Amino acid sequence: MNPTRRRFIAGSAGLLAAPGLLTNALAQGNFPSKPIRIVVPYPAGGQTDGIARSFGDFLSRKLGQSVVVENKGGAGGTIGVAEVKRAAPDGYTILCTISSSLIQNRVTVKDLPYDPEKDFTYLTMTTSIGGPVVAAEKTGATNLKQFIEYSKKVDKLNWGAYGPGSTPHVLIETMARQYGLKVEVVQYRGEAAMFADLAAQQLDGASGSPAAAAPVIISGKGRIIAVVGDRLPAYPDVPTMTEQGAVGGSYETRAFAAFAVPAATPKEIVKKLSDTLIEAGTDPKVKQLLENYLIVGPLSFEATNARFKRDTEVMLAVLKEIGLKPE
């Protein structure tokens, strides 16, 4: 057998022994060759859903494939996140979720069906400037001091949150400890329903994203009394929680929305998706959405993973401090 023929047979045998390598290589080279889906573990209508759809539209235009957003709400985000964990690590299933499902759920959910640090690779994220704290019109409160005074006159506060350990849940638990409040936390599957009930005066207060809170504030059915994080450009005269005397790490945290894929996704696909999602930040439609939502980003791949690590450490410490446990 001549040397050329011998090398060909040997090479062919190697490919036959590991057909997955050839298939995987071809799949990466042609990626994407079919529709992509973005799973949002919360109902449609909220800020996370809006971010997913805006970035998904850019992905579709840039990559030449349709991108479908699927809302898989329930169980504080665990249903949707777990579904992405189980998905094939081929880049065709992307997670778009918020910090509570990736950080707070570690403390508040018993037997969490995923490991946020081991099961996913984070592509990019957006972060909020700050979040409004909104009191229902019926409270008569226009600032934090008045809201605390109101809370001392009622048997208990009805406060909205979107999942155990979510940002508004941590906020009110911290406030309750500092000011001695009696609170009933009403959990919702998303911000839209929460602020709808606040507008109907079924809640005394809630906090969340600027975009989701805007309609109830504009209508006058809810009044922004403080801000978690930095002052908001749309409400420059409203002081932050810290500026009004509140003390605690949760008053300085910023919510984020992260895009991620299963951890075993090939590096080449991770890079392509990450680069494209980051590039979306230059698109006029996406830029307008970010401005409307008062959020910053998308952050670079490196900055995203550094921020995720830092926020995890800070928030887990706060959750331990206020004594949250699985329900």
pLDDT score of 2: 54
> What's the CATH number where 65 sits?
3.40.190.150
pLDDT in tens, 216-252: 999 999 999 999 988 998 899 999 999 999 987 778 7
Q: Evaluate whether residue 185 is within a structural domain.
A: yes
Q: Judge if 238 and 141 occupy the same domain.
A: yes
Whether residue 184 is predicted with pLDDT greater than 60 in this model: the reply is yes
Q: Evaluate whether residue 305 is within a structural domain.
A: yes
Whether residue 22 is predicted with pLDDT greater than 50 in this model: the reply is no
Q: Can you give the residue range of the structural domain that contains 293?
A: 35-128+255-322
Q: Give the DSSP H/E element, type plus range, for residue 94.
A: strand 93-98
Q: Evaluate whether residue 162 is within a structural domain.
A: yes
Q: Evaluate whether residue 137 is within a structural domain.
A: yes
Q: Judge if 303 and 219 occupy the same domain.
A: no
Rounded Cα–Cα distance for residues 106 and 18 (Å): 38
pLDDT score of 56: 98
pLDDT score of 39: 98
Q: Judge if 295 and 155 occupy the same domain.
A: no
Question: What pTM, to 2 d.p., does this model score?
Answer: 0.73
Q: Judge if 117 and 138 occupy the same domain.
A: no
Whether residue 23 is predicted with pLDDT greater than 70 in this model: the reply is no
Contacts 24+ apart (CB under 8 A), 53-57: 54/280, 54/285, 54/286, 54/289, 55/96, 55/259, 55/277, 55/280, 55/286, 55/298, 57/285
Q: Judge if 99 and 122 occupy the same domain.
A: yes
Residue of 176, 208, 132, 205 whose CA lies nearest to 322 = 176
More confident site: 267 or 28: 267
At 327, the pLDDT band (50, 70, 90 cuts) reads low
Rounded Cα–Cα distance for residues 77 and 36 (Å): 20
pLDDT score of 235: 93
- Within the chain, residue ranges assigned H as helices are 3-17, 19-30, 47-63, 78-86, 99, 105-108, 144-151, 167-179, 191-199, 210-219, 267-279, 284-293, 301-322
pLDDT in tens, 271-316: 999 999 999 999 999 999 998 887 899 999 999 999 999 889 888 8
Q: Judge if 80 and 134 occupy the same domain.
A: no
Provide the domain count of the chain: 2
The neighbouring-strand residues paired with 222 are: 136
Question: Which residues, at least 6 apart from 251, have a Cβ–Cβ distance to it below 8 Å?
Answer: 171, 174, 228, 240, 241, 242
Q: Judge if 239 and 154 occupy the same domain.
A: yes
Whether residue 25 is predicted with pLDDT greater than 50 in this model: the reply is no
Q: Give the DSSP H/E element, type plus range, for residue 295.
A: strand 295-296
pLDDT in tens, 89-113: 999 999 999 998 999 899 989 899 9
The last residue of a domain, from among 222, 252, 282: 252
pLDDT score of 148: 97
Q: Evaluate whether residue 174 is within a structural domain.
A: yes
More confident site: 1 or 226: 226
> What's the CATH number where 248 sits?
3.40.190.10
Q: Judge if 154 and 236 occupy the same domain.
A: yes
Q: Evaluate whether residue 201 is within a structural domain.
A: yes
Q: Judge if 118 and 134 occupy the same domain.
A: no
Structure tokens at 295: 């959020």
pLDDT score of 136: 98
The last residue of a domain, from among 221, 237, 252: 252
The last residue of a domain, from among 215, 237, 252: 252
Summary mean pLDDT of the chain: 89
pLDDT score of 167: 81
Q: Judge if 165 and 109 occupy the same domain.
A: no
Q: Judge if 95 and 138 occupy the same domain.
A: no
Q: Evaluate whether residue 163 is within a structural domain.
A: yes
Q: Judge if 261 and 240 occupy the same domain.
A: no
